[in-house]
Amino acid sequence: MNVHIEKAQAILRANDKGGYTVPTARLYPFQWNWDSAFVAMGWQTFDEPAAWREVESLLEGQWDDGMLPHIVFHTASDQYFPGPDVWGTHHAPPTSGITQPPVLASAVARLIAKAHDKDLAEAKAAAIYPRLLANHRWWSRARDPHQTGLVAVLHPWETGMDNSPAWDTAFARVPTQTTTVVKRRDTSHVDAGHRPHDIDYQRFIHLVDCYREAGWDPARMWKAAPFKVADVSINAILARAEADLLGLAVSYGTAAEQAEIAQRAAQMKQAIATLWQPKLGLFGSHDLIADAPIEVATSAGFLPLYADAADAAQVASMGATLDRWRAQVRVLVPSTPPESPVFEPLRYWRGPVWAVVNWMIADGFARAGDAVRAQQILAATRSAIEQAGFGENFDPLSGVAGGGGTFSWTAAIYLLLT
Ligand code: DGY
């Protein structure tokens, strides 16, 4: 077996805390939502029961209204801020009160499609399907209350792309005052230069305070939100997840549920088309508070490919954008391209390459019939990992690994690539 596969498997085993996998020790000592969806797919390549356990343990955090929190605090740890005391959500097990990109239905669809143990997959999927449906209904009801076809995030952490330059203008409107004392732990685990700034944390926590005071009630949060963005990546990921959920509904749901999901999926695809930004040669997010498009190029802008939501001209234009970025970097796909004035090669979502995003973009180019660019991205991802190890992310200019080390989702993606 290739030594890197052995290492990737060892990382998942080491980060497995007994039924759930932490993203990495110390920096992220709990279960994270979209991390776990990718990690479950990685587990499946060598331990199928572990893949299902990963999904089920994440669903232990699901709220009665269908919301799937971004963190499930299965055990206590003083290594992370903000912990359960700051969130104050009163769920058992304790959870955060916001969500993260809804990759889970797509992960479950893949676990079924690739299952070796079909009986296990059938039994698990039948039990999990209603939970996924409840989650997608929550997105539509709580985060698209006016039924526009685009869901909104109320916190940058929900996008998973915490300090993306796409949020700069909208996030600058969020006050910096907090009622919680901000005691960062992340910068004692990794280089502060790879992390968001302190001022960002003031705003991150202002939002947590604001929503906690709204009792974590979706309608009150929606009203109170000083940050409300229709994020292109969340919408693309959810549109793809709806299509994948429709496949599950054919086996496990009713005809009425199939119709409901198909209707939402179609409406989302149409709405994503309105996010096209010809000047960027990419899709972009929409700031709902300013009611303005966010004209900032980031790797998220390729993700409508992953939802089959781009037309042929858009696919060609995104191909040209990718080629231009490729000429500027050693490793594709930078989260923010070097040509951007706010590019920082190692600061979290302001430049670094993320294996999970690459995997989705490559899948998108392949679906659009562009196997060449899909392969370029996959090859870049594989060789970055083989050369620099299983870092949280990679400097697109030097290829050096950044953020936390021995990272579960990087390991999982490597396993999917080989
Ligand atoms: C963090 O703590 O950096 C996370 O991205 C928030 O979920």
pLDDT tens digits for 114-142? 999 999 999 999 999 999 999 999 999 99
Q: What is the pLDDT of residue 111?
A: 98
Q: Of 24, 79, 162, which is best to mutate to test ligand 1, by the most ligand atoms within 8 angstroms of its C-beta?
A: 162
In this predicted structure, the answer to whether residue 418 has a pLDDT above a threshold of 90 is no
pLDDT band (50, 70, 90) for residue 328: very high
Please give the average per-residue pLDDT across 267-287, as a whole number: 98
- The chain-wide mean pLDDT, for the chain, equals 98
What are residue 287's DSSP bridge partners? 229, 292
pLDDT digits (tens, 9 = 90+) for 292-301: 999 999 999 9
| Separation of alpha carbons 241 and 131, rounded Å | 13
Q: Which of 106, 109, 130 is nearest to 252 (CA)?
A: 130
Determine the distance separating the centroid of ligand 1 and the alpha carbon of 27, expressed in angstroms.
Answer: 9
User: Cβ neighbours of residue 273 under 8 Å, at least 6 residues apart?
Assistant: 309, 311
pLDDT at 259 over 90: yes
Of ligand 1's listed atoms, the one at least distance from the Cα of 70 is 7
Ligand 1 atom with the smallest distance to the CA of 96 is 7
What percentage of the chain reaches a pLDDT higher than 70? 100
* pLDDT of res. 1: 78
Q: What pLDDT is stored for residue 356 in this prediction?
A: 98
Atom of ligand 1 lying closest to residue 80 CA? 2
Tokens 């060892």, residue?
10
Ligand 1 centroid to 323 CA: how many Å?
31
Distance 73 CA to ligand 1 centre (A): 13
| Nearest in space to 343 (alpha carbons), one of 335, 354, 351 | 351
Q: Name every protein residue with a CB atom under 6 angstroms from any ligand 1 atom.
A: 70, 157, 162, 186
pLDDT tier, 387 (very low <50, low <70, confident <90, very high otherwise): very high
Which H or E run includes 393? Answer: strand 393-394
- What is the tens place of the pLDDT at every residue in 214-253? 999 999 999 999 999 999 999 999 999 999 999 999 999 9
Token output for 345: 């090669």
Tokens of 167: 């949020």
pLDDT tens digits, 342-376: 999 999 999 999 999 999 999 999 999 999 999 99
Mutate to test the pocket of ligand 1, among 26, 31, 36, 157 (most ligand atoms within 8 A of CB): 157
Q: Kindly report, residue by residue over 74-99, the tens digit of the pLDDT.
A: 999 999 999 999 999 989 999 999 99
Q: Which residues are catalytic?
A: 162, 392
pLDDT in tens, 5-64: 999 999 999 999 999 999 999 999 999 999 999 999 999 999 999 999 999 999 999 999
What backbone torsions phi and psi does residue 276 show, to the nearest 5 degrees? -65, 135
Ligand 1 centre to CA of 381 (Å) is: 23
Nearest CA to ligand 1 atom 4: 157
Burial string for 401-416 (b: 16+ CB within 10 Å, else e) reads bbbbbbbbbbbbbbbb
Residue showing tokens 């990921």: 237
Q: Please name the residue whose Cα sits nearest to atom 7 of ligand 1.
A: 157
Mutate to test the pocket of ligand 1, among 28, 153, 155 (most ligand atoms within 8 A of CB): 28
386 C-alpha to center of ligand 1: Å? Answer: 26
Instruction: Looking at the CA of residue 204, tell me the nearest atom of ligand 1.
Output: 6
Q: Is 386 helix (H, G, I), strand (E, B) or coil?
A: helix
pTM comes to: 0.98
- Distance, in Å, from the CA atom of 40 to the CA atom of 37, rounded to the nearest integer, reads 5
